[in-house]
Amino acid sequence: NHDNQRGHGAGGASIVTFWDSRLHKMAVGYMLAHPYGVARVMSSFRWNRHIVNGKDQNDWMGPPSHKDGSTKSVPINPDQTCGDGWVCEHRWRQIKNMVIFRNVVDGQPHSNWWDNSSNQVAFGRGNRGFIVFNNDDWEMDVTLNTGMPGGTYCDVISGQKEGNVCTGKQIQVGDDGRAHFQISNTDEDPFVAIHAESKL
Q: What is the pLDDT of residue 88?
A: 76
Beta strands in 22-109 (DSSP E): 51-52, 55-56
Among residues 27, 36, 5, 35, the alpha carbon closest in space to that of 135 is found at 27
pLDDT tens for 35-85 read 998 888 878 776 677 778 877 676 767 777 888 988 888 888 888 887 877
pLDDT tens for 151-161 read 999 999 999 99
- Is residue 120's pLDDT more than 90? yes
Q: What pTM was computed for the model? A: 0.85
Q: Would you call 35 helix, strand, or coil by DSSP?
A: coil
| Alpha-carbon gap, residue 178 to 104, rounded angstroms | 20
Beta strands in the chain (DSSP E): 51-52, 55-56, 110-115, 120-125, 129-134, 140-145, 151-154, 161-162, 165-166, 170-173, 178-183, 191-195
The domains located in the chain, with CATH, are: 4-97 (no CATH), 109-198 (2.60.40.1180)
Q: What is the pLDDT of residue 47?
A: 66
Q: Is 150 exposed, middle or buried (0-12, 13-18, 19+ CB in 10 A)?
A: middle
